[in-house]
Amino acid sequence: MEFIIGSTNAAKVQAVEKTITAWFPETVLLKVEVSSGVSDQPFGDNETQLGAMNRAMRAAATREGAIGIGLEGGVRMIGKQMYLCNWGVLVLPSGDQFTAGGAQIPLPHEIAMEILRGKELGPVIDAYFKRQGIRSNEGAMGMFTARLVNRDQLFEHIMLLLLGQMKYRQQTP
């Protein structure tokens, strides 16, 4: 069985490697950088989920018979509060898809205002914490949870939800 993740982001790849090797130790995992086909800063659940779906489908299309994985982070508004949102999609060679969303936490107002002005979350978070490359490490989720839940852990949970749905489908007639 071959899995291909449609990203080279370190946090995403680490999450996929950890979950795939735990549940499918004999499998091959490849990574490929593909376009999400959405804004650099996905806004809302629909756009974020579409980015994950595009990544999964484009990853799967790079190798016949492979299972594609797409993970995407974005932001969404609930009333006047901006939240982090995260989605994952797994595409089987048959074309069947599984989707799952992750935990969401509110962002500070000053971060939300920068994003509403058209900036991307990653650089805004780097500037806010005066560091570089946070999105590939603990992510905004990790920074705003005092590193109790880092970005890779968030994506691990999404991966478990995706793999669980796949395994359930394989078990049911």
Could you tell me if residue 26 is inside a domain?
yes
- Classify 48 in phi/psi space as left (phi over 0), alpha (psi -120 to 50) or beta: alpha
Residues 6+ apart with CB under 8 A from 111: 82, 121, 124, 125, 128, 140
Could you tell me if residue 59 is inside a domain?
yes
CATH number at residue 99: 3.90.950.10
Which amino acid is located at 153 in the chain?
Answer: Q
Could you tell me if residue 141 is inside a domain?
no
pLDDT tens per residue, range 95-117: 999 999 999 999 999 999 999 99
Q: What is this structure's pTM?
A: 0.94
Q: What is the pLDDT of residue 171?
A: 86
Could you tell me if residue 11 is inside a domain?
yes
* pLDDT tens over the chain, length 173 residues: 899 999 999 999 999 999 999 999 999 999 999 999 999 999 999 999 999 999 999 999 999 999 999 999 999 999 999 999 999 999 999 999 999 999 999 999 999 999 999 999 999 999 999 999 998 889 999 999 999 999 999 999 999 999 999 999 988 76
Could you tell me if residue 34 is inside a domain?
yes
Q: How far apart are the first and last CA of the chain?
A: 21
Could you tell me if residue 28 is inside a domain?
yes
Domain that holds residue 10: 2-103+151-171
**Number of domains, the chain:** 1
Q: What is the pLDDT of residue 173?
A: 67
Could you tell me if residue 40 is inside a domain?
yes
